[in-house]
Structure 1
């Protein structure tokens, strides 16, 4: 059967069926016929002829039935299905053991709280949801500071964690997109002359922080005059400050509010040190698994799950 040859690009899109539909529409406008190229997908008379330019399809001039268009569209569905299967497999690969081991930082009350042995907050909630998607039980690995969580990243003690996005940490772990943003600020004693965040960076001022926390990393680079006093974790930094150590204590706003309520002799300063973007993390670098975990976070945000549990 005589036919017309249509040249396709050298690097066609991955979704080849969509590319053929696009070229068919262009051909129609030029030749004013009804989708002749589609006949190549259902007729044995279609022939593939390689050329130096790219794939070359010989399309019979006979017009196909309109159902051929539907047939091409139907052929696209398995692509999305296969993508979902691949993403699910990558999620399952995150937890190779019998359970999903999720590292939870209880030192950041904005993200997790231990209420009489029951874990609440966004990080335990995301861990449970991920374990459900993977099809395994969740096992919580508890820490009292982000620094300690990060320190164990290369020891095989947890499968997935939650940390503030930081370029230095990114050398060892993989971050997803942020699922939430929290505020870090200062607290001072009632008799302190410091009345704003900007006034804390003065010569002779000692600021107590939890070692390895996101605000510790930020202040290490940002401060010019004040001195940092590092405790082992945020809880220990609050205890030091209560005991009279330091002039200022830094922390996540929710943690400061819980540890220094109104009437405690300590006031929380207005303003913020920094906004901390929190993300899920893998304790290694793997592009495919990170992409699958990032897609999980995207779904959790889009569905309203993060907002409902934050």
Structure 2
């Protein structure tokens, strides 16, 4: 992990200001006196957008932000139960709800998770890769690995410790494909002539702030912050600033009656 402390003197995404949070919210949101924002550096979409969003959330709450870099999502999720961070942005997955509570999704991309196949592969669609004896590499604990494990009927998931290892498994023939989001897979394909993405996908992507369990007041506050950021255009500006137009879109407003973050 790498730590970066940022004192938020001014908001970087204008238009999200709210009234000052109550002492209860502050004590749950930033129990150490600063907002510890876990940043997953191995995912470029999360890495490009989370620091700015985390700083703005800290400014909104009137506390400093401390960015904590994680190179692997499984370590980030393990640390949720240890109180090592206060908020993180990860893909929503039902298996993660035992460890964290989610705010409403703030970034979506439908049909975004797919499989990269190596040069010479005849597979073109998910049905071609979901065959007995086939293996698909994915990072252990990542949303891709969890969703793929529930989706595949015949093929098996080969869990790798990180993205480099998952890609290497495919390159070395230990797996017949490598699962991740299209944005990351296109970059990998560019380094391996003949590799290509399947034509279809196995899931969409829904990113949200996650908080450690048992912080209900903080979870409600973050949910309100997310909805204000959608309404003000701040989230769209964050997407534009990160160069992610066409890759992800701002999630639609979440109605209080349908919010199931906790």
> Does 1:232 find its partner at 2:126?
no
Contact 2:134 2:156 in 1 (8 A): yes
Partner of 1:261: 190
Closer/same/farther in 2, CA of residues 88 and 274 from structure 1, 3 Å limit: farther
Closer/same/farther in 2, CA of residues 139 and 160 from structure 1, 3 Å limit: same
Q: Deviations over 1:96-139 (max 9, x none)?
A: 22422111112222221xxxxxxxx1111111111212233322
Equivalent positions of 1:21-32 (< 5 A) are none
Q: Partners in 2 of 1:218 and 1:226 — Cα distance?
A: 13
Shift of 1:274: 0.3
Structure 1: tracts of 5 or more residues without a match = 1-82, 113-120
Structure 2: tracts of 5 or more residues without a match = 1-17, 240-262
> Does 1:106 find its partner at 2:41?
yes
Partner of 2:173: 244
Equivalent pairs counted in the alignment come to: 220
Partner of 2:54: 127
Instruction: Give the secondary structure class of the aligned counterpart of 1:282.
Output: strand
Q: Partners in 2 of 1:149 and 1:156 — Cα distance?
A: 11
Greater relative contact order (Cα < 8 A, sep 6+):
2
Shift of 1:174: 0.7
2:146 to 193, 213, 217: 217
Structure index of larger Rg: 1
Instruction: Give the secondary structure class of the aligned counterpart of 2:117.
Output: strand
1:147 to 63, 69, 74: 74
Moved more, 189-198 or 260-269: 260-269
Equivalent positions of 1:28-43 (< 5 A) are none
1:197 to 88, 102, 126: 126
Partner of 1:136: 63
What TM-score comes out, normalization by structure 1 length?
Answer: 0.66
Q: Deviations over 1:179-229 (max 9, x none)?
A: 012311111013101011222100111100011111211111121110111
Contact 2:21 2:61 in 1 (8 A): no
Q: Partners in 2 of 1:235 and 1:143 — Cα distance?
A: 15
Closer/same/farther in 2, CA of residues 220 and 135 from structure 1, 3 Å limit: same
Q: Partners in 2 of 1:99 and 1:86 — Cα distance?
A: 14
Q: Partners in 2 of 1:99 and 1:266 — Cα distance?
A: 44
Partner of 1:174: 101
Contact 1:108 1:252 in 2 (8 A): no
Shift of 1:232: 0.7
Closer/same/farther in 2, CA of residues 160 and 224 from structure 1, 3 Å limit: same
Shift of 1:283: 1.1
CA RMSD across the alignment: 2.0
